[in-house]
Structure 1
């Protein structure tokens, strides 16, 4: 028997009791569709077995779900229906999940399936002594991982991940979170709030988190995490031996744009050997927009207008990406940008942004369209009194395409300076050592005229979706595996 390549759900384990005449009802167990999707995206074959007397509304619902996830539907108590001929090509183990609400069919003894028994209500009545017992449907992914470890050896490691559902969906859809072992022996399971965290983590070898997804608020540098993230944080504190891809303390600087800017000041040590100067943007911290001589303070910080204003808080809260491009010093006093804020140098960069991704020791990059040069932005105003351009950087950016002025060209002026990959690679490795992070990203623009390479943003665990999946996902897995192996050597 090999790793698990097929899972068959008995109707008793996947369906709930609901009014059969409710056409809008979902008849799946809570979390059932999420489990089905996880298995489907892991490229594990799925079947659902049901009896011939199942009410038609439930059969219709199963057929709709089956179409979504390429599920085979079986009628196990029909003598004319055979299961194994249609699944005979599966090279691996098959799991059959059944609940204590149904007596296990004698026909199952004809198959070498691994029976997993869902003990609903805590009253066990399983007819098979070798069945694996679970109490909740959410335990199934971990059960599959346990089986795989038992079947193929201890060299396989389990990665428990915690991040917001939309990010999980994005990674899983690209094949990054499979339940079956990857080419380098990783299996991925979600850390869910429906199960005790300690019971989940005792079977997890390394934790992957996107803690910035779990922030409720940040005030006076105090971070208020969700309850589940606080629980995970406490677990880390009390279990120092727990292997975490990147400790929370290492990502804290990336939550604060001021701290990021201070860190980037250290890039000066690279410039003696670099072909071009690589640096962070010039910046100034602002606590109050009303009581400041901005022209004097801007000069002291080596800043000139226009400039871009960003909240000091870099991520995790709703207004962290509320920004403004300011052309006149007086307009700094009336901005709707959360305080404290960072006034940052606006770099003319030919509308070209380079997004770099650090996955372990491997570096990837993509080229994206960005905000136009200042002279292009200025042409968007009909008067000699340019107003601040306020925007949410997560939703849209001021680009040449969306400036409301027909006289403005879609093509920015400038030289579209090329990037010096060696200089940026040196900076990436410097940042990796300085931040002590395994997976992070940063944005670079090339300043027109000076050819300075300016890092304008750094972030933790980016999606790196601009890099082709067949390249990025194996590098992602390798970074996690290398982190685990190096931790074990210590």
Structure 2
């Protein structure tokens, strides 16, 4: 039994030259980096898998310079080979990497067929990047694998690690937008080498056949809200019917419905309530201290739902709660304007307010300009304090000079006035000690367990503010699979891995081994 993958060597040809039937149009075409190669290099760089680039020493200077820069930018090694032979390659790699300790994977194109066969005969795993669709192992040799896209390489790596490692390995296939993937990967959360509790992470690509990819994984980790195309909250049907996903996510959804043995973090029906702020508010309406031990009250904000900003809304708003109020789209995530909000300082501000409909009108809680972000990772609860918006009186003064008009803003960016002059939201500076001491951490931790039971989610976050005067703890938002970037990586990432592993283990003990 081997011990996983010692490293991956990428032939310069597969990085610089796209597989195409068209010849290069000019000298620069030969040194252009295809998008798929760039994506692969970034993934390998952040995966924990040792990676090198092989090139001929007599390559044009512009090729050598580009590859050297690529290798340096991705913390990879660059091997200049005097001759393009299996013996030369093996000698150069062993000088740097030594012998033994796992498989070496060499990725090359069809033009190096003879050399690839020689490397395979020496026990290396050789991946042949071919120009047409082909079976993954047409050669019949277990050491010579054919692929037609660089996007397939991570699954090859994960498959070899699982096959050659004596540990109980789980392959976690993940789906999320590239920027979110990179955020997690930069912090070491998505390694392809085994974590201490036996996880390896494999990106799932909508550009490849999904069925074959999903057949390789034990756990599907997703941020399905990244794949929402549209969401119609004006109908009375179930939320699951009202959510329209991308074609790729629809395929994943269909696969999971027919393969209940695959552990999903988390099942889509458990994520649906987080998409709808009205559902979130209804859940928080039942909120109370689970143990009744807290010296403070924990609750959701007072609110009401509106379908139009007209005279009926004005009548509804009167007497509901003191102004100012914050107005949010009912759609909580997954669409472009889900974070387009407004602050109204008097009832008339609601008339014709330019916030996407339907919307939630919610009390604005003065909160010491401090927001507490809580993260639930399985059984672990973490929190961090962040600077937030000022109290309602201060915001009112900002708007009075313009006729006390509502403030419109994007909650992911900064708070603009109606004239377009931006007022920067306070940053992530230190929280005054007096403010941090008002937080009843034990109360919120007990509530986190209550929310976890009610939502049946493995990894989620919620935002808490402490009301000035009453010291009520008010939960103002809940979200699925947050980045938890405010928590130190050496604490949060192992907790993230353990949450996934425990969820999978629990699913195997449940009757029928259904989806977790």
The TM-score normalised by the length of structure 1 is 0.90
CA distance in 1, matches of 2:139, 2:275: 54
Q: 1:20 to 1:471 in 2, by over 3 A?
A: farther
1:353-406 Cα shifts (integer Å, max 9, x gaps): 00000000100000000011111112224549422111010111479x9659xx
Are the counterparts in 2 of residues 271 and 277 from structure 1 also a CA contact under 8 Å? no
Q: Using the TM superposition, give the Cα deviation of residue 52 of structure 1 relative to its aligned residue in structure 2, in angstroms.
A: 4.5
**RMSD across aligned positions (CA):** 2.9
Say which of 354, 361, 364 aligns to 1:343. 361
2:169 equivalent to 1:149: no
Q: 1:384 to 1:316 in 2, by over 3 A?
A: closer
1:232-265 Cα shifts (integer Å, max 9, x gaps): 1111222222210100000100101110000011
2:59 equivalent to 1:47: no
CA distance in 2, matches of 1:34, 1:411: 36
In the alignment, what sits opposite 2:107?
Answer: 97
Say which of 311, 331, 337 aligns to 1:313. 331
Q: Which moved more, 1:145-154 or 1:174-183?
A: 145-154
Q: 1:320 to 1:123 in 2, by over 3 A?
A: closer
1:10-55 Cα shifts (integer Å, max 9, x gaps): 2343332663844477534551121122111122221222335544
Are the counterparts in 2 of residues 372 and 412 from structure 1 also a CA contact under 8 Å? no
Say which of 377, 381, 397 aligns to 1:359. 377
Are the counterparts in 2 of residues 350 and 415 from structure 1 also a CA contact under 8 Å? no
1:422-463 Cα shifts (integer Å, max 9, x gaps): 110111000000000000000000001111000000000010
In the alignment, what sits opposite 1:252?
Answer: 272
CA distance in 1, matches of 2:324, 2:416: 14
Are the counterparts in 2 of residues 20 and 57 from structure 1 also a CA contact under 8 Å? no
Q: 1:293 to 1:35 in 2, by over 3 A?
A: closer
In the alignment, what sits opposite 1:188?
Answer: 201
Residues 91-490 of structure 1: pairs in structure 2 closer than 5 A: 91-105=101-115, 108=119, 112-121=123-132, 129-136=141-148, 137-153=150-166, 155-219=168-232, 220=234, 222-268=242-288, 270=290, 272-292=292-312, 294=314, 296-299=316-319, 301=320, 303-383=321-401, 385-397=403-415, 403=423, 416=435, 418-490=438-510
Question: What are the ranges of 5 or more consecutive residues in structure 1 without an aligned counterpart?
Answer: 405-409
Q: Using the TM superposition, give the Cα deviation of residue 286 of structure 1 relative to its aligned residue in structure 2, in angstroms.
A: 0.8
CA distance in 2, matches of 1:310, 1:56: 56
CA distance in 2, matches of 1:50, 1:354: 51
Q: Using the TM superposition, give the Cα deviation of residue 330 of structure 1 relative to its aligned residue in structure 2, in angstroms.
A: 0.6
Q: For residue 257 of structure 2, give the secondary structure of its aligned residue in structure 1.
A: helix
Q: For residue 289 of structure 1, give the secondary structure of its aligned residue in structure 2.
A: coil
- Count of residues paired in the alignment: 482
1:439-489 Cα shifts (integer Å, max 9, x gaps): 000000000111100000000001000001111100000000111111111
Are the counterparts in 2 of residues 277 and 453 from structure 1 also a CA contact under 8 Å? yes
Q: 1:387 to 1:415 in 2, by over 3 A?
A: farther
Q: Using the TM superposition, give the Cα deviation of residue 269 of structure 1 relative to its aligned residue in structure 2, in angstroms.
A: 6.0
Question: What are the ranges of 5 or more consecutive residues in structure 2 without an aligned counterpart?
Answer: 511-516
CA distance in 1, matches of 2:431, 2:200: 46
Q: Using the TM superposition, give the Cα deviation of residue 195 of structure 1 relative to its aligned residue in structure 2, in angstroms.
A: 1.5
CA distance in 1, matches of 2:78, 2:138: 23
Q: 1:457 to 1:22 in 2, by over 3 A?
A: farther
Q: Which moved more, 1:215-224 or 1:305-314?
A: 215-224
Are the counterparts in 2 of residues 208 and 245 from structure 1 also a CA contact under 8 Å? yes
Q: Which moved more, 1:17-26 or 1:448-457?
A: 17-26
Say which of 47, 50, 58 aligns to 2:63. 58
CA distance in 2, matches of 1:91, 1:2: 6
Q: For residue 107 of structure 2, give the secondary structure of its aligned residue in structure 1.
A: strand
Are the counterparts in 2 of residues 46 and 71 from structure 1 also a CA contact under 8 Å? yes
